[in-house]
Amino acid sequence: GYVEGDFWGGNKHFRLRHAWVDFKFIHFGQDWSFFGDKDIWPNVLDWDGPPSGVWRRAPELKFYFDVAEHSRFDIGLGSPSAEVMYSSDIDSTVSAASQRMPDVIAAWKQTTSFGHIRATAIFRNLTYTSGTDIRSVPGYGATVSGLIKTSSVLPNTLQFQFVAGAGIGTYLASFGGYNFDAAPNAKGEIETVPTVGGWAAYEHYLSKKWHFNLVGGLSLFRTHEIAAYGIPGPGYTAVDSKISLDMLYGLVNLMFDPVPNLILGIEYNYGYKRSTHTGTITTPTAVVSSIDQSRPAHRISFGMFFDF
């Protein structure tokens, strides 16, 4: 078994992060969702990591089996939670309901002498209310991830993860996990939001004590056509319009290990977000077919890790 917590929640109270039990071929409790790959994580100071990272903690029940040498198959259920996001500006009669069906997840992992490769699939049943009706819409997705050792002497590694699907936004690290799984179309219906993303990280040891990391990633969200909504910020009215959201991420750091279990580092982060609205958009001066909003972000971090 394993239990882990912290006080990062911001309310000065203890927060439970992990609490799980592993027995024979059963894994039960709160852990990183096995829709992602908890065996890969870039060595970075950034708390969230790349925006397309599939790192979500949730209660789950997993059964795992060794089907061949160095090959493992997982299948189980994950807590769906009620994190389906809707905008009251689009349709105030639509809201998230108590999710009736758990997420169904399956995974396959092959371990080799140079690392591992892993593939997963997920099916979701997103439940929502529209007026007095309770309805649902399916969500689905898949990931491919891996870790490749690039040196037999130093622990240099290449790690990556790619994800695609619809209605799986809450599994991604973007916006702290509060992404758009689905959006109402102002007709009493809801449609899942297609999502594509990926990241790759390379760690290189210059010596046994000095090493650096390069990380790049992106997340892409695309909605269906929405009957009417207000564009955040300027407040323009968009009719029969679509929303595209692109997020880019880059990172480089340099780390120093003066003694075992102690890491000192300096890190530069770059982020870029662009939202595009395409359709019929009314501004104070004219009616236009599209509007782009974009913003870059930069950050320099200094940090220390100490394992004890």
Q: 257-274 pLDDT, tens per residue?
A: 999 999 999 999 999 999
Distance between CA atoms of residues 306 and 271, nearest Å? 27
pLDDT digits (tens, 9 = 90+) for 99-140: 889 999 999 999 999 999 999 999 999 888 877 778 888 999
The winner for highest mean pLDDT among 79-88, 124-133, 155-164, 184-193 is 155-164
**Encoded tokens for 146:** 């891996």
Q: On the CB side of 176, how many CA atoms lie within 13 Å of its CA? A: 1
Distance CA 254, CA 268 (A): 9
Report residue 279: phi and psi, to 5°. Answer: 160, -130
Q: Answer whether residue 232 shows pLDDT above 90.
A: no
In the prediction, which pLDDT does 91 show?
67
Neighbours of 207 (CB within 10 A): 9
Mean of all residue pLDDT scores within the chain:
89
Comparing CA positions, the residue from 205, 240, 199 lying closest to residue 90 is 240
pTM greater than the 0.85 cutoff: yes
Q: What is the DSSP string of the chain?
A: -EEEEESTTSSSS-EEEEEEEEETTEEEEEEE-TTS-TT-----S-SS-STT----EEEEEEEEEEEETTEEEEEEEE--TT-----TTT-TTEEE----SPEEEEEEEEEETTEEEEEEEEEEEEEEEETTEEEEEEEEEEEEEEEEE--SSS--EEEEEEEEEES-GGGS-GGGG---SEEE-SSS-EEEPEEEEEEEEEEEESSSSEEEEEEEEEEEEE---EEEEEPTTT--EEEEEEEEEEEEEEEEEEEE-SSTTEEEEEEEEEEEEEEEEEEEEE-SS-EEEEEEEEEEEEEEEEEEEE--
Distance CA 257, CA 210 (A): 7
For the record, the structure tokens of 116 come out as: 């591992």
Query: 163: which 2 tokens?
Result: 């994800």
Percent of the chain at pLDDT exceeding 70: 94
Q: Residue 82: what residue type?
A: A
What pLDDT was estimated at residue 136?
Answer: 86
Those residues with Cβ within 8 angstroms of residue 307's Cβ, 6 or more apart along the chain or in another chain: 261, 262
pLDDT tier, 68 (very low <50, low <70, confident <90, very high otherwise): confident
* 18 and 4 Cβ atoms separated by less than 8 Å: yes
pLDDT at residue 186, rounded to an integer: 63
Given a cut of 70, whether residue 28 has pLDDT beyond it is yes
pLDDT band at 289 (very low <50, low <70, confident <90, very high): very high
Structure tokens at 272: 């870029």
d(CA 282, CA 279) in angstroms, rounded, equals 10
Cα–Cα dist 161/36, whole Å = 9
